[in-house]
């Protein structure tokens, strides 16, 4: 399974460009986490890239979301551990997060939204000037990017990362692909 093939199937199943950008951002954070934690960068990156491939196909049905995604990922050649991480990232199934990959995807997913929102409130709407400390401040504002679950982001502790370090890593990873993200 190559990254190009993975992106092709994402483009075949997802129309919403913002959703594709969310998956690219998740990929970037997952790659950075894999490097930091000495894990398989390609496996972690592609898991992040694929994790929401079924969102449009499942049309908001949370009992189907991520089950279909895990099936699609397996058909594309994803390993069992990748499919499991995708499956359990949707809490609606109540499947425990067991492996570091499961846990990493779960906390990386909402971090993208918080960082995008931190860029969009800036006058130039760019990621370039966003700092980790400004994102940390926003984290404390309940109503800021309210959809980005603070509780879920804080689960970075389960992969051994302090919140500040996790945010700095995620921010840097997204800044590296800012152009692709249109930010
Ligand atoms: Fe997601």
Let me know: does 69 contact 10? Beta carbons within 8 Å. Answer: no
The DSSP letter of residue 7 is H
The band of 10, judged by pLDDT with boundaries at 50, 70 and 90, is: very high
Distance from residue 52's CA to the centre of ligand 1 (Å): 5
Distance from residue 110's CA to the centre of ligand 1 (Å): 7
* Cα 137 from Cα 164, distance rounded (Å): 11
Let me know: does 101 contact 93? Beta carbons within 8 Å. Answer: no
Reported in sequence order, the residue ranges of the chain that DSSP labels E, i.e. its strands, are none
Nearby residues of 91 by Cβ (< 8 Å), 6 or more positions away: none
pTM of the predicted structure, to 2 decimals: 0.97
Tens digits of residue pLDDT in 90-111: 999 999 999 999 999 999 999 9
Rg (the chain; Cα; Å) = 15
Tens digits of residue pLDDT in 28-87: 999 999 999 999 999 999 999 999 999 999 999 999 999 999 999 999 999 999 999 999
The band of 22, judged by pLDDT with boundaries at 50, 70 and 90, is: very high
Distance from residue 74's CA to the centre of ligand 1 (Å): 18
Token match 């800012």: residue?
178
Distance from residue 13's CA to the centre of ligand 1 (Å): 15
């Amino acid at each position: 399974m190559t990254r190009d093939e993975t992106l092709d199937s994402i483009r075949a199943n997802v129309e919403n460009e913002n959703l594709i950008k969310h998956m690219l951002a998740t990929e970037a954070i997952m790659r950075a986490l894999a490097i930091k934690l000495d894990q398989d960068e390609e496996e972690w990156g592609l898991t992040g890239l694929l994790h929401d491939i079924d969102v449009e196909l499942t049309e908001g049905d949370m009992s189907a979301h991520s089950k279909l995604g895990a099936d699609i990922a397996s058909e594309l050649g994803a390993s069992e551990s990748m499919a499991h991480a995708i499956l359990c990232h949707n809490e609606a199934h109540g499947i425990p997060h067991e492996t570091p990959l499961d846990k990493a995807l779960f906390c990386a997913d909402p971090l993208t939204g918080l960082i995008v929102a931190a860029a969009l409130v800036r006058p130039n709407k760019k990621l370039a000037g966003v700092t980790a400390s400004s994102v940390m401040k926003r984290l404390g504002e309940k109503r800021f990017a309210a959809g980005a679950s603070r509780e879920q982001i804080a689960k970075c502790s389960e992969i051994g990362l302090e919140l500040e370090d996790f945010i700095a890593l995620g921010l840097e990873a997204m800044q590296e692909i800012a152009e692709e993200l249109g930010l």
